[in-house]
Amino acid sequence: MPDPEPQFHYWRSLLWSQWCFTPPYPVTSWAGKTVIVTGSNVGLGREAALHFARLGAEKVILAARNVEAAEKAKLSIEATTKCKAGVVECWPLDLCLYDSVKAFAARCNTLSRVDCLLENAGVSKYRFRMVPGALDELQITTNVVSTFLLAFLLLPKLKETALKFNILPHLTIVTSELHHQTTIPERKAVENGKHATLLEALNDPKTASRSARYPVSKLMEVLLVREWTTAIATKGFPVVINCVNPGFCHSQLTRSFAPIAYIGKIIMRARSTEVGSRTLVHAASAGLETHGEYLSNCQVALVGNFVRTEEGRHVQKTVWDEVLGRIKSIEPGISIN
């Protein structure tokens, strides 16, 4: 078991990342490739999509709930990169609606190839809110359940692309360094017998931690990627699955927490969305050595201390079993490998 991670070490590392490190400007060619970027109508997703278009991608799909905003982003990307007409497309995707996720995935399967699925879409809210028609709270639905539902639905297409074109596609999930700051406090409600399952506890406003909900969802992403890829041999597996931390950025993700978030951005020297997006593009083209890994500052990084404990490994298995069960109830027979 690793030594307890001192808070000062975490903050020292975070401050160094924000104050002293600038992610390198992407230069790797994406010529001939098809890229899907979720949540790409604004912020990090839009900037990442711009990089892909600038680097010669044959098709860049902007997947967003707000299609009107996505169309504006498309025009901006075309004007900036001077890419050919038809390279950038806007497709509707609402991660709060399972049917929207399924329809989007079905449409993706009509493409001749998918070289990268960059799952950037996410929400951060202080107020607890269940999603009408969904089975879980808003942030768990969006950041976790629907994100991995889409990942599982598109994995066969990514594997097909790998075999057809003899390349190494990527499935990259945007997470956060904030996963270091939580141990999923709602699990105590299960241990104390107040709830039968972790998802049940997460869906109870009485046991749900509001301020920690976003970090909890990000930790769940890290745990799911790790558990998923432990069952997949690195050697010979045709798709790189990883997760990436873009750092603390000036994005609309924290708009529900203003003005506290604004003050934090000043102190932490928040990255611009363009600079933060460089980490996303890097992860989406990184080597096989990043399969199953957590990336930060454009390299494989150490996950939070809790993840590396025996208790963390137990919670990882619990999160996997429950989220996979939820997804199978949404889409029976779904393939995960």
Q: For the whole model, what pTM was predicted?
A: 0.91
Residue that the structure tokens 């992860």 belong to: 283
Alpha-carbon span 161 to 140, nearest angstrom: 30
Percent share of the chain, pLDDT over 70:
88
The H or E element spanning position 319 is helix 310-330
Query: CATH number of the domain that 117 lies in?
Result: 3.40.50.720
What's the pLDDT score for residue 243?
Answer: 98
Q: Given 74, 218, 265, 294, which residue is catalytic?
A: 218
Which pLDDT tens digit goes with each residue over 58-88? 999 999 999 999 999 999 999 999 999 999 9
Asked whether residue 150 is domain-assigned, the answer is yes
Asked whether residue 7 is domain-assigned, the answer is no
Per-residue burial over 32-57, b if 16 or more Cβ lie within 10 Å, else e, is: ebbbbbbbbbbbbbbbbbbbbbbbeb
What's the pLDDT score for residue 254?
Answer: 53
What value does the mean pLDDT take over residues 102-107? Answer: 98
What's the pLDDT score for residue 258?
Answer: 52
Active site residue 126: no
What's the pLDDT score for residue 2?
Answer: 41
Which pLDDT tens digit goes with each residue over 244-263? 999 887 765 555 545 555 55
Asked whether residue 95 is domain-assigned, the answer is yes
Asked whether residue 247 is domain-assigned, the answer is yes
Q: Are 270 and 17 in contact (CB under 8 A)?
A: no
Asked whether residue 98 is domain-assigned, the answer is yes
Q: Which residue has the higher pLDDT, 208 or 42?
A: 42
Residue type, 200: E
Q: Are 328 and 271 in contact (CB under 8 A)?
A: no
Asked whether residue 250 is domain-assigned, the answer is yes
Strands 299-300 and 294-296, sheet pairing: antiparallel
The H or E element spanning position 116 is strand 116-119
What's the pLDDT score for residue 12?
Answer: 64
Q: Given 33, 74, 98, 214, which residue is catalytic?
A: 214
Q: What is the mean pLDDT of the chain?
A: 90
Q: What residue numbers bound the domain in which 282 lies?
A: 25-181+210-309
Active site residue 98: no
Q: Give how many domains the chain has, as a whole number.
A: 1
Which pLDDT tens digit goes with each residue over 19-53? 667 899 999 999 999 999 999 999 999 999 999 99
